[in-house]
Each structure stands twice: as C-alpha cells, then as structure tokens.
Amino acid sequence: MKDMAGQIAVITGAGGGLGRAHALALAKRGVKIVVNDLGNARGVVDEITAAGGEAVADSTDISDRAAAAAMVDAAVGRWGRIDILVNNAGILRDKSFAKMDLDDFDKVIAVHLTGSVNCTKAAWPYMVEQGYGRILMTTSASGSYGNFGQSNYGAAKSGLVGLMNVLAIEGAKKGIKVTSLAPTAVTQMTDGL
C-alpha cells in the first residue's frame, strides 16, 4: 500500500457505501479525512479513529455554496492543506420523466453536480497554490447510457463527466489530476430500488 501519510482529504457522502469505502481506504494509508455526510459521518469517524487514523465529521449540505466553501476552509484551517477531494455525495429521486416533479430534478442536480462544483471550486485555489491536488468525481453508467426513471440522476452524472474532462485539462499544468469513477454498486442509496 502506498503511504500517503500527511495528506488531507475531504470526502462527500462518506457516511456509507462508496464514500465510506474511500474514507476507510485512505485513512488506512495515513490520510487525514473530513467525513462529510448528512447521516452517518460520526460513525465512520469512529471507525477511522478506532483503527488509529485521524478524521473529523462534517454534516455540511454541499448544495449550499457558502457551506461547502466553509467546510473546505475548515479542513485547511485545521490541517493546513487539502490534497484530495472525493465528490461522492448523492441522492436518488427516481421517477419516469413524465411523472417527475421538477423540484426532485433540481434537488438531484443540486447535490450531485452543483455540490461537486461547489466543493471543487472551494478546493481548487488551495490545490493551485500548493501545486498538487487529486479530485475524484463519482459518476455512473446512468449518465453515459441512461436508465429508466433516472433523467435527473443521469443528467447530473453526465454533467460530472463533462466537468471532469474540462478540469483535467485545466488542472494538468497546475499539478491537479481530476478523474472519475463510474461504479455499479448496491449501497444505502439504492435501498428499495
């Protein structure tokens, strides 16, 4: 395992599922973690600290631009830098497009896409200044290929791929690598589907 001791990560949606897996894996490599989640952030922090790692819980709603910026600023204030940002937070509001309430469409876009933009925009200047950063976007095959009842989710996840493509180009000369992961998984977000 690569020793990443001393690096600082903010992971959104890290209270369960993929975000939790990212948090535990990075903490095992010596990364200090901000575990962001509206639900189980404290539980994941407890797991990390019980294993000898360092983490703090955060319940910021990343769709709020100012709150997302404050979360990143707090991480830098606490540990002096931010090296890794994992944009993983997500929600589902699945219905066929004909039956979907546009408020549910907007909410999914706000969390997945706008929330990722908010966090990335807050972290970007720090990463540029230090000449180093790693940003991971969690996307989905629903954004690339479609999935019935997920017009909102598919649009948000496709938007993340476009954002990643542009930021990868813009970050290359600044030491910032931006990539995405398109997993298929069964997590707390998919319960009941």
Are the beta carbons of 30 and 5 closer than 8 angstroms? yes
Q: How many CB atoms lie within 10 A of CB 96?
A: 10
One-character DSSP codes across the chain? ----TT-EEEEETTTSHHHHHHHHHHHHTT-EEEEE-SSSHHHHHHHHHHTT--EEEE---TTSHHHHHHHHHHHHHHHS---EEEE---------TTT--HHHHHHHHIIIIIHHHHHHHHHHHHHHHHT-EEEEEE--HHHHH--TT-HHHHHHHHHHHHHHHHHHHHHHTTTEEEEEE------GGGTT-
Q: Which two tokens stand for residue 193?
A: 């589907």
**Residue in 126, 132, 145, 153 annotated catalytic:** 153
Residue 153 annotated in active site: yes
Q: CA-based diameter of the chain, in Å?
A: 50
Question: What residues are labeled active site?
Answer: 153
